[in-house]
A = this chain, B = another copy of it.
């Protein structure tokens, strides 16, 4: 063959490799889950063995990018994807440490996919991991997470005070306030990626180190273990993108039903919404909203698994997609815990 070993191993600096990667999201036991697969050999740089299901795009076998993605996910997890949407294409230099060793430039097309509770098996070499294990600062369901006030807050302040230039310090402080909802700013649950990137720049998560960036604050070695479980390569960034997109999307499209079983109580639905949003919702208003939008219809069946008064089971009204294309679960996020 004309192909040289050099090219096959991808050490041609002009080489590009397109990878397809998927953030598979499900909700189980009131917790949002993401599917991780064990990487063969692991990524010595991040000390992580887990990453998102992914594989190279094959222009011969794959008619579309999405088809390729479905194939890889099926192969690696045994799951036949339902809902999937393209998220973002990641192409920054050195996304993958392998590139420094002469590997090809890795360009990754990331997808968000939603998996129904009922399709939730744990396949070989794959596991459903709690979202918030990787982003502990994103879960505000029982008030401001401890990690924000205890670790992130003070360490970010140190980072903000580091520059010699007064204006730079002000800019950093401002950015911290907006992304983390400090001062008189409100916490915006959609800014997942911005928060991740801020922590990255501030050197508060493990990826900063493994990517060979200068650490802002050298005293933080174990802080990494506090700031969430790491994935290989930049997969945690992809995950942050997926999370932000999903939190935004459930507000204006009825995608949350892609995660629910066929029949559910309104409270189960609310729990799922809360799990994704990372915040509590007002129960009565939530059900009024869902009802008024015509998103669900009663089945007549009753569930007595609730622990209190039995609840009626509902199902998603597929018609709404037709009737009111732009409906979703607009949630008024309440950040303060119930007293």
Contacts and interface: CB of A to CB of B under 8 A. Distances in A.
A184 B103 CA distance: 56
A60 B4 contact: no
B57 A91 contact: yes
A326 interface: yes
A322 interface: yes
A86 B109 CA distance: 12
A83 interface: no
Interface residues of A, number: 38
Main secondary structure of the interface of A (DSSP, over half): loop
A89 B64 contact: no
A75 interface: no
Contacts of A59: 13-16, 93, 104-105
Given A2-B4, A16-B59, A59-B16, A64 B93 contact: yes
A174 interface: yes
A60 B15 CA distance: 9
Contacts of A89: 65, 86, 89, 109
Contacts of A2: 2, 4, 6-7
A104 B59 CA distance: 9
B64 A178 contact: no
A65 B91 contact: yes
A33 interface: no
A140 to B, nearest CB: 17
Interface string A302-339: 00000000000000000000110110000000000000
Contacts of A65: 89, 91-92, 107
Nearest to A91: B65
Given A178-B322, A322-B174, A325-B188, A91 B107 contact: no
Interface in A70-102: 86, 88-89, 91-93
Interface string A114-151: 00000000000000000000000000000000000000
Interface of A: 2-4, 6-7, 13-16, 18, 57-60, 63-65, 86, 88-89, 91-93, 104-105, 107, 109, 174, 177-178, 185, 188, 190-191, 322-323, 325-326
25 contacts: A2-B4, A2-B6, A13-B59, A13-B60, A14-B58, A14-B59, A15-B59, A16-B18, A18-B107, A57-B107, A63-B93, A64-B91, A64-B93, A65-B89, A65-B91, A65-B92, A86-B89, A89-B89, A89-B109, A177-B322, A185-B323, A188-B325, A188-B326, A190-B326, A191-B325
